[in-house]
Every structure is written in structure tokens, then in C-alpha cells.
């Protein structure tokens, strides 16, 4: 940002407007400043600092700590833009209250006053505004499908179905429910459903929704079997809410009866192997519910089913796996030392946090590189029936999605190189050697 003129060399002493890296640089500075307090009682989004507390006494104490950090770093606040000790306030387009989170009323009114789009630009603006609040709307993807279809090249031809979707989406915005805030001391409930066109899911606790999610299927998935579409809905929803579900027990409800035997059925197709691998590392159980009782996010149309009061459940082996992992970590001296250091001095370990008796490094479960349990993890992610003896790259990618330890890449290479099944059954992937050329006989 320095520049030279005929009067001399000049540099900015504050961050100027217009730099492409200015937002990320400022957000990084805020994260570093409030690192010990983030997601404990402080949330920062650029220059919006939210301090939340269960009681007024705690709130005053938290404010004092935040102010002290700002004074130390020489940041200044404008008093006219500050609000203190509020029960309900607007934050990033949402209203936050003791009851939960709901859309800002002015944004809802803007949606209601939006005129019928006459071109793609106006339609994109409408879908952008409503899409910001899609987690509040049941079946957003299904409702908006006639409108999103108009965004294709040379496909903008307004018709009756688009008008119906436009008005239905406006009505749905006015009926958006208040979403509750997550409580990590309680188990999560994930309900999923899939039709021939789209999938939907809802994340709940104590029968109250936390977030809705829906997504239309691509042409390939529309041609797939019902089993694959339902399995895709589960894995997509788990990936969407990974930050809530990883390291916490949760229950999956589905209206597809064959999925209750998810881990006991034989893996017969590559698609099954790919989807099942995405669920490894989670502590979950699958419960079956009939379509009429499985009221999920997008309320997709279903074929009539025979009413049944039977509920079938299956506990997954992942629960035992995580319990064994916690027992192995509890006996590890390095883990206990690091765990206590993170709890006493979180600022000295910025990328670490403790959660549910585990250490998370950048939202991945941390393991001691010397503990023998690593071999159990490698066995689970490579040699189990679900893992399918994949190669180094795919096995490493699966592990890195949920676990971290130093030297993981080398351990995966050594483990696969010593796998007897891989050595016996896999073919050589190197290029075929050329013809042997005899050496000339010396004269």
C-alpha cells in the first residue's frame, strides 16, 4: 500500500478502503484478538462484535474483558452504534431473542413488496434475498424450483408455475418459524427425506427445529434409485451440519425402511461404498419412521404408505468406536497434558479446543502420534467392509476429514504397503515396462 510521489515516500497508517485483502485481514485481526473468547461469549463478524451471557452479572464481566482487549490493541468503538444489555437485537439480518432466531421484519417486508421480476437480474435479486433465509423455510428448494429453472441460458419465460412459486415463496417468508439455538448437552435429531426431484432435512432438538435444508437433485440423481437418493439425502445433511454433529451423538430418522440395516447389508456397489464412507467417524443411530410420521424440512410428496405403528431402530458400531477412542485417549499422558493446557490457557493453543471429552484441532479429532489406537483407526478407514481397501489418496482424504495427528500421511502409506489383501488382490498401476534389450557381446 506504499506509494511514492515527488514529495517523498508515503505509507498508510490505517487500513484504506478498496483493497481486496482488507476484509480478510481485518477479520483475521479480530479473530486473533478475541481468540480466547470466541464461541464462549463472543462472536465477531468484521466490525460487528456480539457479546452474549446467561445473566447480567456475567454479561458485565464479559464486557469488561472485551473492552480490555480492545484497549490493549488500540481499537476504538463509536458509542452511538453500540447497544448494551439487550434481550432482543438485530444481528446480521436476524433477530436474536431468548426464544430463538427469526428473520428481521424489515427484510420480510422487502420480500413482500418485491415486484414480479421482468428479467434474470431482478429474479436473481429476489432469489438472493429469499435464499439468505432459506434455513427458515420448509422445502425452499422445491418451492423455488420453477424460479431457479428460469436462470438457465435463454430459459427466462415467465409462466403460471413461476407466478405460483413467486407468491408461495412470499407467503412462506411470512410464516417462517422461530429457530431455536443449539444446546450441545442434548442429542441432535436429524430428519431427512427425498423425492424424485429434491431432498430435504431438518435439524432438531427437543422437537424444535434448529435449521432447515433442502436441495434439488441433479439429473443423474433423479435417475437413481430411491435407496441412493435417500442415502444421498442423509450424507448431504450430515455434511451440511458437520459442525454440530461431529463428536456428538445424534439420531437420523428416515422413511426408507431398508436404510435401517445400513451397516449390516453387504456393500455391493461403488455408490454404496462412497456414501457409507462419508458417515465414518460420526456417533449416530438410524431410526425408521413411516412417511406419514416423518414430517421433514421440505414436505416432499410421497407415495401412500400403509400406516404402521412399528418403529425399528439400529445402533451403529461407531458409538463403540468412539467410546474405545475416549478410553484410549484417557490413558494417554500426552493427551491429558495437552487437554489441561487447552482448558487453562486456550490463547496459547489457538487452533485447538476441547469438546465432549475430545481435543479438536481445526475441527478434527486430535490423536497422539505415538498411541497404538492409530492402527485401529487405520484399520477402520482402510480395511473394514465399508472402507473397501481404498488407495493412499482416498484413505488419507477420509481420515483428514475427521482426524488429525502428526505423520498421518506416512502412517497411511506404511499401513497400506503392509496390507496383505491389497498386495494380493490389486494390480500394478505403473506403466508397462518396455521390451528388454540384450547387451551386445563384448569383443
Judgement on whether residues 296 and 198 belong to the same structural domain of the protein = yes
Judgement on whether residues 364 and 413 belong to the same structural domain of the protein = yes
Question: How far is Cα 159 from Cα 236, in angstroms, rounded to an integer?
Answer: 32
pTM value is 0.57
Positive or negative, the Cα torsion across 265, 268, 274, 275? negative
Q: What is the CATH number of the domain that holds 137?
A: 3.30.70.270
Q: What is the pLDDT of residue 331?
A: 86
51-60 pLDDT per residue, tens:
999 899 999 9
Bridge partners (DSSP) listed for residue 221? none
Q: What is the pLDDT of residue 293?
A: 59
Assess contact for 193 and 253: CB atoms under 8 A: no
Q: Say if 440 falls within a structural domain.
A: no
Judgement on whether residues 195 and 243 belong to the same structural domain of the protein = yes
List Cβ neighbours of 182 (8 Å cut-off, separation of 6 or more): 188, 205, 210, 244
Assess contact for 127 and 147: CB atoms under 8 A: yes
Q: Write the CA distances from 341 to 39, 202, 337, 353, integer angstroms.
A: 18, 37, 6, 10
Judgement on whether residues 79 and 107 belong to the same structural domain of the protein = no
Assess contact for 339 and 358: CB atoms under 8 A: no
- Which residues in the chain show pLDDT less than 50? 296-309, 314-319
Grid cell locating 234: 442423509
Q: Say if 37 falls within a structural domain.
A: yes
Q: What is the pLDDT of residue 65?
A: 94
Judgement on whether residues 255 and 338 belong to the same structural domain of the protein = no
Judgement on whether residues 250 and 292 belong to the same structural domain of the protein = yes
Q: What is the pLDDT of residue 439?
A: 81
Q: Say if 329 falls within a structural domain.
A: yes
Judgement on whether residues 108 and 148 belong to the same structural domain of the protein = yes
Q: What is the pLDDT of residue 297?
A: 40
Assess contact for 338 and 330: CB atoms under 8 A: no
Q: What is the CATH number of the domain that holds 383?
A: 1.10.340.70
Residue 154 Rama label (left phi>0; alpha psi -120 to 50; beta) = left
Nearest C-alpha neighbor of 139 from the set 254, 252, 296, 256: 296
Judgement on whether residues 59 and 149 belong to the same structural domain of the protein = no
Judgement on whether residues 7 and 75 belong to the same structural domain of the protein = yes
Structural domain range at position 23: 2-85
Domains in the chain, number: 4
Q: Say if 107 falls within a structural domain.
A: yes
List Cβ neighbours of 381 (8 Å cut-off, separation of 6 or more): 280, 387, 395, 398, 399
Query: Could you write out the three-class secondary structure of 204-251?
Result: EECCEEEEEEEEECCHHHHCCCHHHHHHHHHHHHHHHCHHHHCCCCEE
Q: What is the pLDDT of residue 268?
A: 67
Judgement on whether residues 147 and 234 belong to the same structural domain of the protein = no
List Cβ neighbours of 258 (8 Å cut-off, separation of 6 or more): 227, 265
Nearest C-alpha neighbor of 290 from the set 275, 306, 274: 306
Q: Say if 432 falls within a structural domain.
A: no
Q: Say if 235 falls within a structural domain.
A: yes
166-194 pLDDT per residue, tens:
999 988 888 888 888 888 888 899 998 88
Q: Say if 435 falls within a structural domain.
A: no
DSSP structure class, residue 178: P
Positive or negative, the Cα torsion across 19, 20, 25, 30? positive
Amino acid at each position: 500500500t506504499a506509494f511514492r510521489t515527488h514529495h517523498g515516500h508515503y505509507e498508510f497508517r490505517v487500513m484504506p478502503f478498496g483493497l481486496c485483502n482488507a476484509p480478510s485481514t481485518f477479520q483475521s485481526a479480530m479473530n486473533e484478538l478475541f481468540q480466547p473468547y470466541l464461541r464462549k461469549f463472543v462472536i465477531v463478524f468484521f466490525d460487528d462484535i456480539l457479546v452474549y451471557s446467561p445473566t447480567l452479572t456475567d454479561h458485565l464481566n464479559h464486557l469488561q474483558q472485551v473492552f480490555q482487549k480492545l484497549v490493549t490493541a488500540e481499537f476504538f468503538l463509536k458509542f452511538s452504534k453500540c447497544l448494551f444489555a439487550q434481550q432482543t437485537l438485530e444481528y446480521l439480518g436476524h433477530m436474536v431473542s431468548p426464544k430463538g432466531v427469526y428473520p428481521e421484519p424489515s427484510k420480510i417486508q422487502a420480500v413482500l413488496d418485491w415486484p414480479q421480476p421482468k428479467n434474470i437480474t431482478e429474479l436473481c435479486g429476489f432469489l438472493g434475498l429469499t435464499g439468505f433465509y432459506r434455513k427458515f423455510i420448509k422445502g425452499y428448494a422445491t418451492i423455488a424450483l420453477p424460479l431457479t429453472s428460469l436462470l438457465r441460458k435463454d430459459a427466462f419465460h415467465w409462466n403460471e408455475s413461476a407466478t405460483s412459486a413467486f407468491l408461495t415463496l412470499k407467503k412462506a417468508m411470512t410464516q417462517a418459524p422461530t429457530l431455536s439455538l443449539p444446546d450441545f448437552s442434548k442429542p441432535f435429531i436429524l430428519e431427512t427425506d427425498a423425492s424424485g426431484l429434491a431432498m430435504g432435512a431438518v435439524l432438531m432438538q427437543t422437537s424444535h427445529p434448529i435449521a432447515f435444508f433442502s436441495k434439488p437433485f441433479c439429473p443423474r440423481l433423479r435417475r437413481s434409485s430411491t435407496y441412493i437418493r435417500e442415502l444421498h439425502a442423509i450424507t448431504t445433511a450430515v455434511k451440511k451440519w458437520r459442525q454440530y454433529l461431529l463428536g456428538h451423538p445424534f439420531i437420523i430418522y428416515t422413511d426408507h425402511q431398508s436404510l435401517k440395516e445400513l451397516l449390516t447389508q453387504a456393500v455391493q456397489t461403488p455408490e454404496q461404498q462412497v456414501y457409507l464412507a462419508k458417515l465414518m467417524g460420526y456417533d449416530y443411530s438410524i431410526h425408521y419412521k413411516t412417511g406419514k410420521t416423518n414430517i421433514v424440512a421440505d414436505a416432499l410428496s410421497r407415495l401412500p404408505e400403509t400406516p404402521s405403528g412399528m418403529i425399528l431402530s439400529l445402533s451403529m458400531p461407531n458409538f463403540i468406536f468412539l467410546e474405545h477412542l475416549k478410553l484410549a485417549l484417557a490413558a494417554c499422558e500426552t493427551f491429558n497434558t495437552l487437554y489441561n493446557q487447552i482448558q487453562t490457557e486456550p490463547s496459547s493453543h489457538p487452533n485447538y479446543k476441547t469438546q465432549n471429552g475430545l481435543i479438536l484441532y481445526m475441527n478434527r479429532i486430535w490423536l497422539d502420534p505415538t498411541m497404538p489406537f492409530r492402527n485401529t483407526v487405520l484399520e477402520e478407514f482402510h480395511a473394514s467392509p465399508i472402507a473397501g481397501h481404498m488407495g493412499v489418496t482416498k484413505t488419507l482424504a477420509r481420515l483428514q476429514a475427521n482426524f488429525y495427528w502428526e505423520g498421518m500421511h506416512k502412517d497411511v502409506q506404511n499401513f497400506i504397503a503392509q496390507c496383505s489383501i491389497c498386495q494380493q488382490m490389486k494390480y500394478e498401476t505403473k506403466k508397462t515396462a518396455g521390451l528388454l534389450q540384450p547387451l551386445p557381446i563384448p569383443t
